[in-house]
Structure 1
């Protein structure tokens, strides 16, 4: 007799998943990025707008190679990832792919869901011909950096600055992100 196994899986997102995806994204951001994004920015996030954006991503992706995946623990959706292609600068080169988002419900973290999502995302990118995976990490997100490093990704030195809205003094609040990558 086989020992019991956990009923965990990753599947493509389907219509109806968007509300839970948006809820997980906002909960994860409020937990992981409270210090960096601040109360003003986090308090201004509109969950209905996130739901609408995820519904669009699930039902009408902008093109081939765009995918939204969800992680399930039994019947419960506990995480999600989205990926997109990055066209090769030279037509003779293989394209790359980017993990646009990867979040796990804070209550379900450390259960392997993030690793399963990342592995499934990389499998999709490979199937679409990509030879590299990239993602962006908010500066100071040590937990995400540790997760990515454990999965074989590393920073490549590129950074970008994103304005996220007004800060507490009404000046633009800017977040720095660092790009991480790996060959696949």
Structure 2
């Protein structure tokens, strides 16, 4: 029987997070980014840089509202092996969020910076759990709206977020990656639904 869940990332997760990022980009971004760019950002040298950046993001975030979460799965058969709590966790995905910095972002807006699941562990609900945990934390912070930028051609991510109530807000941008790569901004209202008044 497998235990699954989401928890705050630890510095010791940085290598796993970077590895998942590289594997996910290679698997999911092949048709979204120019080949030379994808090769560069997923090279062994780039992986080392990502590991350092994630370690810093996790252990020394710019603010308490900059967070990295990881989805974990581990075997509970026979109980956890010896070691500190969580040592048996297998990191299978991650998400990062922060206060929104877009110039037109209204107060109370946060941004989902990234959400990736290891290609070997897709379809098990890890992305949904990461998204739900992100929303829970942001509600505690008082955030009301959550935005994210996605590649316009990324149908899988757009479908996933669309099923969770996200929609384009009309904003777009074009990244120069040797050739233009277009992104669109999605948003969703994360305020708690108001309950019906008691009779």
Alignment correspondent of 1:135: 148
Cα deviation for residue 26 of structure 1 reads: 1.1
CA–CA separation in structure 1 for the residues paired with 2:135 and 2:174: 26
Report the more deviating stretch, 110-119 or 40-49: 40-49
Instruction: Indicate which of 126, 134, 137 corresponds to 1:124.
Output: 137
Question: Are 2:75 and 1:79 equivalent residues in the alignment?
Answer: no
- Which residue of 1 is the match for residue 118 of structure 2? 105
Matches within 5 A, 1:2-151: 6-45=2-41, 46-74=46-74, 75-86=89-100, 94-151=107-164
Q: How many residues align?
A: 171
Tell me by how many angstroms 1:89 deviates. Answer: 7.7
Which structure: larger Rg? 2
How much does 1:126 deviate?
1.1
Runs of 4 or more, structure 1, over 6 Å off, are 87-90
TM-score normalised by structure 1 residue count: 0.87
Question: Which residue does the alignment assign to 2:166?
Answer: 153
Structure 2: gaps spanning 5 or more residues: 75-88, 191-199
Instruction: Answer yes or no: is the 8 Å Cα contact 2:14–2:52 preserved in 1.
Output: yes
Per the TM alignment, residue 94 of structure 1 is displaced from its structure 2 partner at its CA by 4.2
TM-score by length of 2: 0.81
Match of 1:167 in 2: none
